Amino acid sequence: MKRISLVIVSLLIFLSGHQIKAQDYSKEDLELRKKIAQMLIIGFREAELTTKSPIYNLITKEKIGGVILFDYDVPSKKAKRNIENPDQLRKLCTELQKAGNNSLFISIDQEGGKVSRLKEQYGFAPSVSQQYLGDNNKKSISREWASRTATTLKSLGINLNFTPSVDLNINPDCPIIGKLERSFSDKPQVVIDNAKIVIEEHRKKGILTSIKHFPGHGSSASDTHKGIADVTNTYSEEELIPFKVLIEEGMVDMVMSSHVFNSNFDENYPATMSYNTLTNKLRVQMNYDGIIISDDMAMGAIAKEYDLTTCLEKAINAGVDMFIFSNNGEKYDKEIGYKAIDTIFRLVKQGKVKEKSINNSYARIQKLKSDMGLR
């Protein structure tokens, strides 16, 4: 009878997702779901927060780990998704943090140049690309621009910037790195020197950063936003040097995994889903014990190739601690946060993901939040 009841409960979880009420879970299960929710950074559409906003319940009831902000909504091809002007954005961040009881990662991709969510046309200060900084390669210039970015983010209430990109500019025609001027240089030392300055200036303002895209995206000839990017024949071990040095020097808050496929590391899965890449290479060989965060799981290299259950199972078992679901790919799904929580919860209950993995990720997340003063 007990076995039948468990099967029925599991089926209800699968069918109903977040429709199941809190009282239907045991105390232990509620604690597990809370830890899982902390592993998620979710994108949303509103430029102002109300109690009717789908993201509001994810923050206040499910208690997700954070949110990510965008100026442009890709599915609808409309601008001003979360960002209209400095005053509006400052208010939004304040309300988000209030809803999250001062415990949210409020994140953004503000590298500068062509990868800038805070554009001049919205009333924000100008920015320059990482390539510009690397081409000049002068500490004073890099420090000045990095300080401007960090100061702006601090004034808005944003506490996590997914920068710097430490990809080497091996292929200047790479559509997502070289072409967008996102790499400091093809020389590891130039990348390291400038990345350190960017990180230092953010830290002065109490803002976290994430180096990306491990183990390197700069040699690819295609864009992981659109589909598979195979770097097997173009990748160089030299691409690991910036990651290795920055980790050794204690400069890393988070490492973002890329979705590139490299059969030299893994013959079956892209980096985000690869145990050999994230655990053997990054954690064991490079001695990294901080947060590994995925690149956006809505990108084509993942979303077009794998179902939600498969990609989450493989990624967690590979070593990913946090997931970005931007909700800013080909389609918008206001339920994606609930689906991710329910899917991971189910994977643990089925024994396909170890609860220890969830506990380890939760501990890393809480430590970083505690270190930066988030409750």
Q: How many CB atoms lie within 10 A of CB 93?
A: 23
Omega within 30 of 0 (cis) for the link into 213: yes
Whether 16 is covered by a domain: the verdict is no
* Residue owning tokens 């100008």: 126
DSSP sequence for 8-39: HHHHHHHHHGGGS-GGGS-HHHHHHHHHHHTT
Whether 68 is covered by a domain: the verdict is yes
DSSP sequence for 38-62: TTEEEE---SS--TTSHHHHIIIII
Whether 358 is covered by a domain: the verdict is yes
- What's the DSSP call for residue 175? T
Tell me the C-alpha distance between 85 and 159, whole Å.
18
Q: Which pair of structure tokens corresponds to residue 214?
A: 């491990």
- Residue-wise pLDDT for 34-80, tens only, equals 999 999 999 999 999 999 999 999 999 999 999 999 999 999 999 88
The pTM (predicted TM-score) of the whole model is 0.93
pLDDT value at residue 7? 40
DSSP sequence for 333-364: -TTHHHHHHHHHHHHHHTTSS-HHHHHHHHHH
Whether 15 is covered by a domain: the verdict is no
Whether 1 is covered by a domain: the verdict is no
DSSP sequence for 148-186: HHHHHHHHHT--EE---B----S-TT-TTTGGGT--S-S
Range of the domain at 197: 25-371
Positive or negative CA dihedral for 158, 121, 111, 148?
negative
Specify whether the backbone of 357 is left (phi greater than 0), alpha (psi in -120 to 50) or beta: alpha
3-state helix, strand, coil split of the chain in percent (to 5) is 45, 15, 40
pLDDT value at residue 227? 84
Whether 14 is covered by a domain: the verdict is no
Whether 257 is covered by a domain: the verdict is yes
Which residues are registered as beta bridge partners of 106?
67
- Residue-wise pLDDT for 312-328, tens only, equals 999 999 999 999 999 99
Phi, psi of 212, rounded to the nearest 5 degrees? -155, 165
CATH code of the domain containing 364: 3.20.20.300
List of the chain residues with pLDDT < 50: 1-17, 19
Total number of domains constituting the chain: 1
Whether 4 is covered by a domain: the verdict is no
Tell me the C-alpha distance between 364 and 287, whole Å.
15
